Chains A and B, each alone.
Chain A
Amino acid sequence: ILQGDLGPFNPGLPVEVPVWLAINLKQRQKCRLIPPEWMDVAKLEEIREQERKEDTFTPMPSPYYMELTKLLLNYASDNIPKADEIRTLVKDTWDTRVAKLRLSADSFVRQQEAHAKLDNLTLMEINTTGTFLTQALDHMYKLRTNLQPGESSHSQDF
């Protein structure tokens, strides 16, 4: 059980709170949400261009950029200027990154690498490909061990 103190809450003055509380208060019409400073059309355009240029992953403004965007645009789009454009920009950046991730996973499996290192990935992206990648690797391992003749007489179940 988490415990903590928040506040003080003074009307008209901005206060930092955890996201869950912000969303709850917003749903109860008790506050107005201020978007993070990276949630801005110009900044996001820059980030998207950067991501498209590089082959590797560029650092994202927040390790939870996708989650935050989704939450804020769902519940507080009236507090975010140009919300529609922001949604498109973030989605574009996400698509580019996931495409890179897919390419990288594909070459990893193909070339039967033992380990890989990817910088600047966020948890959400990792989880998106995570299950698939590990299952693919499991299958590859299964296939490979079955190819070795006579090594092991009993097959292993995964």
Chain B
Amino acid sequence: MFISDCRREFYDVIVSQRVLLLVASDVDALCACKILQALFQCDHVQYTLVPVSGWQELETAFLEHKDQIKLLVKQDDDLGVPAYDDIFRDDEDEEEDSENESEGSEPSEKRRRFEEDIIERTMKRRQRREWEARRREILFDYEQYEYHGTSSAMVMFDLAWIMSKDLNDMLWWAIVGLTDQWIQDKITQMKYVTDIGILQRHVSRHNHRNEDEENSLSIDCMRIAFEYDLRLALYQHWSLYESLCNTSYTSASLKLWSVQGQKRLQEFLADMGLPLKQVKQKFNSMDMSLKENLREMIEESANKFGMKDLRVQTFSIHFGFKNKFSASDIVYATASLMENIEKEGPETTNFIKALDSLSRGNLDKLHQGLALAKKQLRAIQQTVASCICTNLVISQGPFLYCSLMEGTPDVKLFSKPVSLCLLSKYLLKSFVCSTKNKRCKLLPLIMAAPMDVEQGTVIMVGIPPETESSDKKNFFGRAFEKAADSTNSRTLHNHFDMSIIELKTEDRSKFLDALISLLS
């Protein structure tokens, strides 16, 4: 169901009912869920929370609760929805004009009327055919590409704001949702900057209290601040050196998988005047004198080494004396918690843990997430380095292909969709920097990793090519479907993101061949 007025058609309807929340396994969805939960708590709305990771689970949950469901609203990131009227024409009266009963009028009149009728009917038929053709075109365009619209957390925050129930906490979750989209490369830079601008206005509104003598706020109160921060993953909770090595942007630009790359890193650090010993220490223990103008210094040196976008507009949260986190930190931590391969209990514990870590009171979970995130980033960089050094990325014609072997270290981490997507994007970025083949730089990438050894399945992900002005539209969803159909491969298109599928290892080669011929 498509809704235009969030408040009237959605919230006011559900606020008096018992609600079933089906939430996807995505940091953005988690943030939107937190905002909704906060709203529900304020208004005493009873709700049940069910995490779903794909269409099948959505269906099962729906069928389970079928008897009580009256209204289903799906939170979808894939917007770009064409106008309602273009697709669904309310049942038009297709009734043929009933034959005018001849009431004994003159034959010529009757004949005229008859002719008019025919003309009218043909006109209608032609219109309808044109409309159908247009509809098919629109649907084809709509379903061909997959891309993401506004973050659902931001949409929920908007809803809260319209009802004047927005809080600083909810604003923070909206920020994390948006940052998640940016980190996973789901939105264009333009969209990101625009949305940051929107959120910036809210941030100033909530956090404008100046620290004057009269009304200083308790240090425990949460504050959000806008930052033009470094694009280095988790750098404030790690050492600067580790962060430089494990962030895809710096690693790819400096080509850190090669020996020359390592040398360039040393040159880069020397250029900034940062001694190696300092830089390898935990960031918080670095000398204050070095940290003072760190951002400007790094930016200057980075420009010399070809890294023009080392700084990015983002927000950070601050509460208590030692808790300062940047939005991207939270995204990495939550995503790692959600896809933690160590199973501790029933299926949904990881989801619940990740959801909990978004609340400020659960700092221990957040720190656990940060530790897992560091492991994940390291694993990703090592895998990327080995793939590039051993030339595992091969061009298949219309796309690049890379497959992770079973014995690869940390390969289990990449049996999860979000981690695999992150790996693929970093790999593509690094590959584009490493190859000299101009044509290969513009190709999309398909990445495969073993998913379940016992069942012999492989998880496959397709990502669009890495270009400056990429609009981030992904056509692999349809392509995968078509290829699977034409080869009768046993595939599972379960994920909400259609460009992620699971298939049986035996069917892999014929599936790929079909894809190649499809996309050539």
Contacts and interface: CB of A to CB of B under 8 A. Distances in A.
Interface of A: 28-30, 73, 77-78, 80-84
A77 B209 CA distance: 14
User: What is the predominant secondary structure among interface residues of chain A facing chain B?
Assistant: loop
Contacts of A80: 218
A83 B41 contact: no
B165 A83 contact: no
Nearest to A74: B220
B42 interface: yes
User: What is the predominant secondary structure among interface residues of chain B facing chain A?
Assistant: loop
Given A81-B215, A82-B216, A29 B167 contact: yes
Nearest to B214: A81
Interface string B32-49: 000000000111100000
A58 B229 CA distance: 53
A51 B220 CA distance: 28
A11 to B, nearest CB: 11
Interface string B189-229: 00000000000000000000000001111111100000000
Interface residues of B, number: 14
A11 B59 CA distance: 45
Contact of A77 (B41, B44, B220): B220
Contacts of A73: 218
B41 to A, nearest CB: 7
Given A81-B215, A82-B216, A28 B42 contact: yes
Contacts of A81: 214-216
24 contacts: A28-B41, A28-B42, A28-B43, A28-B44, A29-B167, A30-B42, A73-B218, A77-B217, A77-B218, A77-B220, A77-B221, A78-B217, A78-B218, A80-B218, A81-B214, A81-B215, A81-B216, A82-B216, A83-B217, A83-B218, A83-B220, A84-B218, A84-B219, A84-B220
Ranked 7 nearest A-B pairs via Cβ:
A83-B218, A77-B218, A28-B42, A81-B215, A78-B221, A84-B218, A29-B42
Contacts of A29: 42, 165, 167
Nearest to A29: B42
Interface in B292-320: none
B322 to A, nearest CB: 15
Given A29-B167, A77-B218, 7 more contacts: A29-B42, A29-B165, A77-B220, A78-B221, A80-B218, A83-B220, A84-B220
Contacts of B215: 81
B260 to A, nearest CB: 53
**Most interface-central of A30, A80, A83 (chain B CB within 10 A):** A83
Nearest to A81: B215
A73 B217 CA distance: 12
Nearest to A28: B42
**Most interface-central of B42, B44, B216, B218 (chain A CB within 10 A):** B218
A87 to B, nearest CB: 8
Contacts of A28: 41-44
Contacts of A78: 217-218, 221
A139 B164 CA distance: 61
A126 B319 CA distance: 35
Interface string B164-204: 01010000000000000000000000000000000000000
Contacts of B216: 81-82
**Most interface-central of A28, A29, A73, A81 (chain B CB within 10 A):** A29
